[in-house]
Chains A and B, each alone.
Chain A
């Protein structure tokens, strides 16, 4: 804060004495800003290189088997990423299935339905949801949501589906503790809602109101305006916003670590505990030595490339929304 004000007040501080600006300062300033801008590229390249180099011993040792193997055995130094990859993808997918309808509903409410005086407080509340640190979502998930979820959803559901084919496998929980892949997905859904909702809202607001008005003019209802005018207009950027939410969900660490159950094995049920790439790194990194450390960085490398691809697609689709 002070840095910026000090610098801005510098030339104007002595209005009477006329100073000749030094040519060297101009060059230094120009090069410094260019250097700072290039640092952004260096940072991303640095993250990429450090992940590949740090994970290389694990990739070399296990080859393609590192991705496909489900064994994570620190005693025998056997490491496979498959359960963590599946956990990451399934929690993110569940988060999208729950979070996207919520976000679209909120965006529609904010742009089309809310009374004018109510828009601002609601929009602020949604944005504050984004400001809540992820560890607090973890606390809420573990101490408030998990017990309720176990008692009112998991146990009754397990009783109902027990013995059924397919459904009985996917929705049955062996130990109904409330922790698991599905719980993590629900918490993640609430964490990505503010991001998707606010971008979608911006997109809907940018649509010229003459389009909406002409639809209303021929007798369309609000739902028809949303469905046939607004969504087709903003469609591509809404998909971009969803991808951005996906990027967040894939890499989210603390909240997931609290509620995912941190099991290293793969379970067919989405209500059973599992782990994600990020949660496994957070759990094991500080105790890891040797090859386990490399295997964890290799996990980070996989996460990096998956989120990188998702975020590149997202940014290309959103193509410059304000903020985020």
Chain B
């Protein structure tokens, strides 16, 4: 760090007074930081490239119309798994949205600043990063074991539990951005808190709250671990009551990927491509809404 006392003659160097070792360290750090960034970007494109190369070959009309093939049978598609994934994901979002929005509203509006709100916020942040396989175990213990059977409902609840903290967090953050004088203006017109919240603050924070729901959707759409012991998976259409297991894309990919049948592997790649592209598109759309909402 010591400066050289006598300026050296370095007419071409923009940093004439900086010692060589410091300059080397600086340049090294810049190269390493840039290199690391490109490694990460490279991995992203490597994964996407892999999915495109291996997945496109497996995509055909049958992928979307035929059911998943049994062991050793020819052809087949992913229709039941795709529909099952839609059902489970939307079940999860349908459970999580009202709970998450209301809880986030309580944290931002009613409980703001209280000890209890701080505790709930803290616990919510922990749930946000809790291992999803533990959520699966939890739902197994409370819903699958007592009712003696796997069901789409259990899978939906498991996904819902994963989505709740995401929605709570974004809802609260977005409501906190709403300026206080909007609420005061509402209250000054004689509106009770519930009307101020539903009519003023929610409306002002709408774009952000929608983003929270979309992010939650993206988060749970690819979740595999919590579905392993709740929704299970099988190779036929599930019953409309969602009892006895609901086929879904992530678990199908997991089971098909390392199977010895070639058509299974093909379908696993096609499924991976479908699921990743949908999730990345969802995340990008969610980000766009936030950018546009500001």
Contacts and interface: CB of A to CB of B under 8 A. Distances in A.
Interface stretch (A70-78, A103-111, A165-173, A266-274): A103-111
Nearest to A296: B137
Given A36-B103, A50-B137, A323-B170, 19 more contacts: A1-B210, A30-B110, A36-B100, A36-B102, A37-B106, A51-B138, A128-B44, A128-B283, A129-B44, A135-B250, A139-B257, A143-B54, A219-B3, A251-B130, A252-B131, A254-B250, A297-B141, A314-B129, A323-B169
Contacts of A38: 120
Interface stretch (A79-87, A119-127, A206-214): A119-127
A233 B43 CA distance: 31
A63 interface: no
B159 interface: no
A17 interface: no
B36 A109 contact: yes
Given A21-B194, A34-B106, A39-B103, A251 B132 contact: yes
B193 interface: yes
A33 B110 contact: yes
Contacts of A116: none
25 contacts: A4-B209, A8-B198, A9-B203, A26-B195, A28-B194, A32-B102, A33-B106, A36-B106, A37-B117, A39-B164, A40-B164, A43-B161, A51-B138, A126-B44, A135-B250, A135-B254, A136-B47, A142-B257, A143-B50, A244-B129, A247-B129, A251-B130, A252-B131, A307-B134, A308-B126
Contacts of A50: 137-138, 141-142
B275 A33 contact: no
A300 B134 contact: yes
Interface of A: 1, 3-5, 7-12, 21, 23, 25-26, 28-30, 32-41, 43-44, 46-47, 50-51, 53-54, 101-102, 105-106, 108-110, 112-114, 122, 124-129, 131-140, 142-144, 190, 193-194, 197, 219, 221-224, 226, 244, 247-248, 250-254, 258, 278, 281-282, 285-286, 297, 300, 303-304, 307-308, 311-312, 314-315, 322-324
Interface stretch (B60-68, B74-82, B221-229, B236-244): B221-229
Chain B interface size, as a band, is 35 or more
A193 B44 CA distance: 12
A303 B135 CA distance: 12
A122 B206 contact: no
B1 A133 contact: no
A132 B134 CA distance: 20
- SS class of chain A's interface: helix, strand, loop or mixed? helix
A242 B210 CA distance: 29
- SS class of chain B's interface: helix, strand, loop or mixed? helix
B276 A190 contact: no
Interface of B: 1, 3, 15, 17-18, 22-23, 25-26, 28-30, 32-37, 39-41, 43-44, 46-47, 50-51, 54, 97-103, 105-107, 109-111, 117, 119-120, 122-135, 137-138, 140-142, 161, 164-165, 168-170, 173, 191-195, 197-199, 202-203, 206, 209-210, 213-214, 218, 221-225, 228-229, 232, 250, 253-254, 257-258, 268-269, 272, 275-276, 279-280, 283-284, 287
B187 to A, nearest CB: 12
B228 A286 contact: yes
Nearest to A304: B134
Given A39-B99, A109-B37, A300-B134, A135 B224 contact: yes
Contacts of B258: 142, 258
Contact of B37 (A106, A248, A250): A106
B43 A190 contact: yes
Given A50-B138, A251-B132, A136 B272 contact: yes
A43 B275 CA distance: 28
Contacts of A303: 131, 133-134
A248 B224 CA distance: 15
Contacts of A250: 131
A176 B136 CA distance: 33
A207 to B, nearest CB: 17
B131 A122 contact: no
A135 B272 contact: yes
Contacts of A142: 257-258
Contacts of B128: 324
B142 A281 contact: no
Contact of B134 (A51, A114, A129, A323): A51
B235 to A, nearest CB: 15
A47 B192 contact: no
Given A12-B199, A36-B102, A224-B22, A106 B40 contact: yes
A322 B209 CA distance: 15
A33 B32 contact: no
Contact of B33 (A12, A53, A113): A113
A278 B213 CA distance: 27
Given A10-B198, A34-B106, A134-B224, A144 B50 contact: yes
Contact of B276 (A8, A11, A25, A132): A132
A317 to B, nearest CB: 12
Contact of B279 (A9, A53, A131, A308): A131
Contacts of B35: 105
Contact of A43 (B18, B37, B164, B214): B164
Contact of B222 (A40, A133, A312): A133
B63 to A, nearest CB: 17
